[in-house]
Structure 1
Amino acid sequence: MTETRSQSPTTDAADDGAHGPAKGVAALALAALGVVFGDIGTSPLYALRTVFTIDGGIVKANQEDVYGVISIMFWSVTIVVSIKYVLVLMRADNDGEGGVMALAALARRLYAKRRGGATVFLVIGIIGVSLFYGDSVITPAVSVLSAVEGLSTAAPSLDHLIVPIAAVILVLLFLVQRFGTGKVGNLFGPVMLLWFVVIAVAGVPHIVAHPGVLQGLSPTWAIAFLVAHPYITFVAMGAVVLVITGAEALYADMGHFGRPAILRAWFFVVFPALVLNYLGQASLVLEDPSAAKDPFFLLFPDALQIPVVVLATMATVIASQAVISGAFSLTRQAIQLGLLPPLTIRQTSREEGGQIYLPAVNLLLFIGVLAIMLAFRSSASLATAYGVSVTGALVVDTLLLLLVVKPLWHWATWKLVLAAVVFGGLELTFLAGNLSKIVHGGWVPLLIALAVITLMTTWRRGRQLVQEERKEREGSLADFIERINTKHIPRVEGIAIFPHPNKETTPLALRANVEHNHVVHRTVLIVSVLTANVPHVPHAKAFFRDDLGYEDDGIDHITVKFGFSDDQDLPRALHAACLAEVLDIDPDEIAKASYFISRGALRPQPGNRGMARWRKKLFVGLAHNAADPAARFGLPAQRTVTMGSDVEL
């Protein structure tokens, strides 16, 4: 038996997992402002206002409460965002990629030799992803609503138009997704830079007028507030968490911009702007307690409020776009890790591989966002529901971080304990504070997360059952190859390629071709696609060939390995394998090959064998709506044949 691995890269940097040509850190930092920081950057629109309106106004607009709240907000952002995400977690990348799926995949790789470790981390990853989807539904609604609600301050007579205007903006936002964001995306960075400059400048005059508010940066005020008012502090934490919404995006988008660019954008632009704005809002509330109803827009003179509403709307649309794009990207990763059925994925840019559009995800997000906005009708109500998914995602990231730092960086036990106490303690407090809001809307993201968990676990279990059933029908590939070679079955010219998940069993399409047509193509490739626990796999490591025991019979098995963020274009990958001489086939001839897909019609059987009957029906429904494998692997429609039989479930 001869086995061959690919020896050298065959394509340019774009194909070996790089993210395109190197750019200056400053340019990347500007671009990151438009993608990474939209969510956390628009939190000043509603965060402090929610603190003063939560639980019937339990937090008062007096010096003790204001300084205490500002201190908690500042140190929450410092600990969770600046320290945990920027300085610590962003070092725990998975081949340059971040995000909960990448972190879970890294953990699975680090604990691969431990029994049950892979499953545990997969479950944790599923929970994290599910919470992100809950966040993805709420973020566009609360962000856009909070911006448009500025009209109630700038032009009270238009108050009745707030929800319709927000609805129109969201409809347009989801309608344009199919066209991609490549052209307008270049404006996102400059617009967000302008946004951060404006909100920073807006806070300065009020800080100058009330410089004592700078005392709120001292942690002593947070401690004093906690000691004096433990219950009020606990309730306030449920709203304070809004200042760190979007923190996970810093880590999730690291693969697009790199750690240096995100670090510089955060510490030199975003963090200072947020601090100045929150301090300005606090000063305004101390000057005029009635301003607590809308401290952000009241920072600005009357003449500037309408322009600021427009700018805020643009910023929240950009923030929403980042969340939607993140949902597309995360869904593709989940599909390639076998957690969701294959869905139609359309590339919206020829230059940027990360710019994709998933029609099904876009439609579901649109329905969810619009329904939630029309049901809650105000950002204040939505903010109540917002924190549950955010804090849950923070806790999942911290849990994964604590599990990977020991094998990854060999942290001492005291460091682990310190990180667990500081990060975990703060975030669990946030989570506890938000659990009390479940009955007031917090159930919405939890319900969404539960639905996603159900879909993912059902799809994964269903695939396992189908594969077990198909193995019985397919039979041994080694025996089948021996039969072909000993029976001297006639060969016909051409190259036949059979995508198949393994090399132990025979593709149903190959077996059917031999049994019904009594011929075999001159060259047969059985191709297994594997998704690695890394974002990108260079072509130098992507191919593994096995001649299946007969070196000159023209029948080979080849494993093609993709990263979970790679585009699974099978013809292009096989062409690269020919160029790398992993396959002894003319690259021009492989372009003329025919593809034979094995598909089984699912037939759910009575009873709960292997899986509850309702989950079997759900799995069958998911399978029926899955994308065609030919489209998933980029196979040429005119040279692709589908063959198969019934599969009992």
Structure 2
Amino acid sequence: MADEITGGAARADDEGVHDHGHAGQKATVKLVVGAIGIVFGDIGTSPLYAFRETFAGHHHLELDPDHILGVISLMFWSMMLVVTLKYVTVIMRADNKGEGGSLALLALINGQTKTQRWSRGIVLLGVFATSLFYGDSMITPAVSVLSAVEGLAVYNSSLAPLILPAAVLILLGLFWIQGLGTNRVASLFGPIMLFYFLTIAVLGIISIVKTPGILHAFNPYWAVMFFVTDPLPAFLALGAVVLAVTGAEALYADMGHFGRSPIRVSWLAFVLPALMMNYMGQGALLFREGAAALHSPFYYLAPQWAQLPLVGLATLAAIIASQAVISGAFSVTQQAIQLGFMPRLRIAHTSASTAGQIYIPLINWGLMVMVILLVLVFQTSSNLTAAYGIAVTGAMFIDNVLLTVLLYRLWKWRWYYSAPLLSVLFLVDGAYLAANFTKVPDGGWFPLLIGFVIFTLLTTWSRGRRLVQDRLREAAMPIPVFVASAANSAVRVPGTAVFMTSTPDGVPHALLHNLKHNKVLHERVILLTVKIKDVPVVEDDGRCKLEDLGRGFFRLVLQYGFMQEPDVPAALKNVTGCGQAFRMMDTSFFLARQTLLPSAKPGMPLWREKIFAWMLRNAESAMEFFRLPTNRVVELGSQVEI
């Protein structure tokens, strides 16, 4: 998901790098460091606020040794079950041609289960998980940057008035640089996060040495006893404990960029130990200092002289975590466009050499406005954490449903293997989701509202697009009839005409309108359809499917993966079997622009028709989306009832 900020890192295969010798080792180390910098930014900044919120958040928990041990034990075993078992061990095996993430998993499942009656429900669940991601991508930058900058008040209370202005300025700068590309600074992400994790681990170890009894928290006994002795406070504490595993889905989403092995090695050998040392160090600090250190146990781990440099380091880590989420939003949006859940949007390329480095202005500025509003309205990271978590746990729970289909339908696991695993995962994620619903009145409503709004937009576009295609297909004239009647009656003029059509059968409306008004046909007529497959990448040798319809007419289908961007002129250069090679100066592209009309039998409610019409009007033109030469395009209007 983070091609935009990996600087075009080598795309690893399923098991990492296969090179032998020093070159292979260097490549593996580079991927491990890259994964630490990109993949673990979100979960890496959780120590800034997660442990504090279990005691000082909206559901106050009594500060005593049993509760401290219980909370840290819950955090450790949550990381083991949710991150290590669910994502690192199981779900990362479910790659779609090397790619991961909710949409990649959905495309993989949908490609195998399209004929099933329940497949539409699975698609809707996957789309809703994607919608929740946008809510999460708004809260993550706000809470990460704000919690990091709040360290200024820990260092010197007189600096407290600077926290909000500093956070807003950092976020404004972060979103402003997106359009410039992040290739140059991306190379620094890995080393900075490496140093960050080392620093928080060392601070934690120093505190643990002073109070080694905190190590008892590795024993699950303390997590169990927490629920046995205080079931309601333990349940409510889950709403804050889950903050320790936010960002776990990034391991799966970024698998295509680093490979399984580098991410697994990074997590098990470095990130997990560093996080646990810090959480235990914070717990040991509270053992010694009690409520005096509860305001910010993360920063109080450091001596006063080191607190200001730690604020700077934590702020850099928060910026990197935010950058990964913003880039992830660009990538998810691109996938949603390609899979037909979003209208075409303007996508700018910030690198001439790396196709994955993209920038989507509408998404960038929309996120910026919402993130700044969140900071100004909620004002503190503690208030923001009330809104944080429900989107993550909702997406994690939906991942369990998709995993269930995967295990039973695609991998054909026997029930006595899959049932115990799924029971544990549903129990854990269900408990976290239920605990986070208690935070809805305090701010949890925000990501749910964003999720439902975006879900409505995505499903409306998908439904409206399908209705338009159905209406066009119903009114389309059969190709053999058209070729036989028009080829002899119309004047043929030199050159090539390419008629873009979304349906690979019937005569495009643009062709009918052109013949009706101009009364000519070009010597070579190409009926072109661009199809997006349920796989991330379609290789060049499988790109083109050409059919000779006779009398100078050809049906051409160009196929792309949902991680690729269509480039029609580039693809046409490689097409053979339909006469001379394509020359752009002799080729005209004809596009149809639909105008929607109310239907006597509407396919969806009027309010959704209006939303779809608005999205259609504001969609990026096909000319720019397919990279057609601007001086060779003709647009012809048509009216469609849906």
Q: What TM-score do you get using the length of structure 2 for normalisation?
A: 0.94
- State the alpha-carbon separation in 1 of the partners of residues 12 and 603 from structure 2: 40
2:614 partner letter: G
1:39 partner letter: D
Structure number with the bigger relative contact order (C-alpha 8 A, sep ≥ 6) is 1
SS of the residue corresponding to residue 288 of structure 1 reads: helix
Q: Which residue of 2 aligns with 1:384?
A: 386
2:11–2:256 Cα contact (<8 Å) kept: no
1:488 deviation in Å?
4.3
SS of the residue corresponding to residue 557 of structure 2 reads: strand
Q: Which residue of 2 aligns with 1:554?
A: 552
1:495–1:590 Cα contact (<8 Å) kept: no
Change (3 A) 1:17 1:350: farther
Q: Which residue of 2 aligns with 1:456?
A: 458
Picking from 37, 41, 49, the partner of 1:38 is: 41
Picking from 399, 405, 408, the partner of 2:407 is: 405
Q: Which residue of 2 aligns with 1:624?
A: 617
- State the alpha-carbon separation in 2 of the partners of residues 284 and 389 from structure 1: 31
Q: Which residue of 1 aligns with 2:437?
A: 435
SS of the residue corresponding to residue 352 of structure 1 reads: coil
1:20 deviation in Å?
12
- State the alpha-carbon separation in 1 of the partners of residues 583 and 436 from structure 2: 61
2:439 partner letter: K
Length, aligned pairs only: 626
1:602 partner letter: L
Picking from 90, 112, 115, the partner of 2:114 is: 112
Change (3 A) 1:17 1:638: farther
Q: Which residue of 2 aligns with 1:240?
A: 241
Q: Does 1:177 align with 2:172?
A: no
1:33 partner letter: I
Q: Which moved more, 1:406-415 or 1:167-176?
A: 406-415
SS of the residue corresponding to residue 583 of structure 2 reads: helix
Picking from 59, 67, 75, the partner of 1:73 is: 75
Change (3 A) 1:66 1:474: same
Change (3 A) 1:17 1:344: farther
- State the alpha-carbon separation in 2 of the partners of residues 20 and 239 from structure 1: 38
Question: What are the residue-to-residue correspondences of 1:498-647 with 2, within 5 Å?
Answer: 498-548=499-549, 550=550, 553-576=551-574, 578=575, 581=576, 583-587=577-581, 589=583, 592-604=586-598, 609-647=602-640
- State the alpha-carbon separation in 2 of the partners of residues 587 and 167 from structure 1: 54
1:602 deviation in Å?
2.4
Q: Which residue of 2 aligns with 1:11?
A: none
1:291 deviation in Å?
1.0
- State the alpha-carbon separation in 1 of the partners of residues 591 and 234 from structure 2: 60
Q: Does 1:90 align with 2:92?
A: yes
1:544 partner letter: K
1:66-125: CA deviation from partner (whole Å, max 9, x where unpaired) = 1111100000011110111011110100100000000111111221332452x2222111
What is the identity percentage for the equivalent residue pairs of Structure 1 and Structure 2? Answer: 44
2:13–2:259 Cα contact (<8 Å) kept: no
1:296 deviation in Å?
0.2
- Structure 2, unpaired ranges of 5+: 1-9
1:349 deviation in Å?
1.0
- State the alpha-carbon separation in 2 of the partners of residues 244 and 116 from structure 1: 31
- State the alpha-carbon separation in 2 of the partners of residues 573 and 263 from structure 1: 38
Question: What are the residue-to-residue correspondences of 1:450-489 with 2, within 5 Å?
Answer: 450-485=452-487, 487-489=488-490
- State the alpha-carbon separation in 1 of the partners of residues 340 and 389 from structure 2: 29
1:440 partner letter: D
1:231-281: CA deviation from partner (whole Å, max 9, x where unpaired) = 111010010000000000000011111111111111122111101111101
SS of the residue corresponding to residue 641 of structure 1 reads: strand
SS of the residue corresponding to residue 171 of structure 2 reads: helix
- State the alpha-carbon separation in 2 of the partners of residues 410 and 17 from structure 1: 24
- Structure 1, unpaired ranges of 5+: 1-13
Q: Which residue of 1 aligns with 2:7?
A: none
Q: Does 1:215 align with 2:209?
A: no
- State the alpha-carbon separation in 2 of the partners of residues 280 and 228 from structure 1: 25
Q: Which moved more, 1:504-513 or 1:167-176?
A: 504-513
1:604–1:617 Cα contact (<8 Å) kept: no
- State the alpha-carbon separation in 2 of the partners of residues 358 and 505 from structure 1: 34
- State the alpha-carbon separation in 1 of the partners of residues 419 and 185 from structure 2: 45
1:158 partner letter: L
1:475 deviation in Å?
2.6
Q: Which residue of 1 aligns with 2:322?
A: 320
Change (3 A) 1:277 1:17: closer
SS of the residue corresponding to residue 547 of structure 1 reads: strand
Q: Output the aligned Cα RMSD.
A: 2.1
- State the alpha-carbon separation in 1 of the partners of residues 13 and 416 from structure 2: 37
Q: Which residue of 2 aligns with 1:206?
A: 207
1:152-205: CA deviation from partner (whole Å, max 9, x where unpaired) = 101210101111110011111111111111111111111111111111111011
1:528-578: CA deviation from partner (whole Å, max 9, x where unpaired) = 111111111111222211223x2xx221111111111101111112223x2
Q: Which residue of 2 aligns with 1:186?
A: 187
1:491–1:519 Cα contact (<8 Å) kept: yes
Change (3 A) 1:225 1:116: closer
1:482 deviation in Å?
2.1
SS of the residue corresponding to residue 493 of structure 2 reads: strand
1:16 deviation in Å?
14
- State the alpha-carbon separation in 1 of the partners of residues 254 and 568 from structure 2: 26
Q: Which residue of 2 aligns with 1:356?
A: 358
- State the alpha-carbon separation in 1 of the partners of residues 506 and 497 from structure 2: 17
Question: What are the residue-to-residue correspondences of 1:119-268 with 2, within 5 Å?
Answer: 119-268=120-269
1:389-444: CA deviation from partner (whole Å, max 9, x where unpaired) = 01001101111111102233321102221122111110000000000110110000
2:594 partner letter: G
1:216 deviation in Å?
0.1
SS of the residue corresponding to residue 545 of structure 1 reads: strand
- State the alpha-carbon separation in 2 of the partners of residues 21 and 440 from structure 1: 50
1:611 deviation in Å?
1.6
- State the alpha-carbon separation in 2 of the partners of residues 344 and 111 from structure 1: 32
SS of the residue corresponding to residue 297 of structure 2 reads: coil
- State the alpha-carbon separation in 2 of the partners of residues 321 and 613 from structure 1: 39
SS of the residue corresponding to residue 556 of structure 1 reads: strand
1:94–1:535 Cα contact (<8 Å) kept: yes
Q: What TM-score do you get using the length of structure 1 for normalisation?
A: 0.93
Change (3 A) 1:245 1:527: same
Change (3 A) 1:436 1:554: same
Q: Which residue of 1 aligns with 2:4?
A: none
SS of the residue corresponding to residue 61 of structure 1 reads: coil
2:518 partner letter: N
Change (3 A) 1:17 1:635: farther
1:60 deviation in Å?
2.3
SS of the residue corresponding to residue 386 of structure 1 reads: coil
2:58–2:386 Cα contact (<8 Å) kept: no
1:472 deviation in Å?
4.2
- State the alpha-carbon separation in 2 of the partners of residues 351 and 267 from structure 1: 33
2:552 partner letter: G
Change (3 A) 1:21 1:188: farther
1:63 deviation in Å?
1.1
1:611-642: CA deviation from partner (whole Å, max 9, x where unpaired) = 21111111111111100110110111011111
Q: Which residue of 1 aligns with 2:302?
A: 300
1:459 deviation in Å?
0.9
- State the alpha-carbon separation in 2 of the partners of residues 62 and 516 from structure 1: 83
Q: Which residue of 1 aligns with 2:5?
A: none
1:33-61: CA deviation from partner (whole Å, max 9, x where unpaired) = 2211100010000000101113452x222
1:238 partner letter: G
2:13–2:98 Cα contact (<8 Å) kept: no
- State the alpha-carbon separation in 1 of the partners of residues 259 and 489 from structure 2: 57
Q: Which residue of 2 aligns with 1:273?
A: 274
Q: Which moved more, 1:202-211 or 1:400-409?
A: 400-409
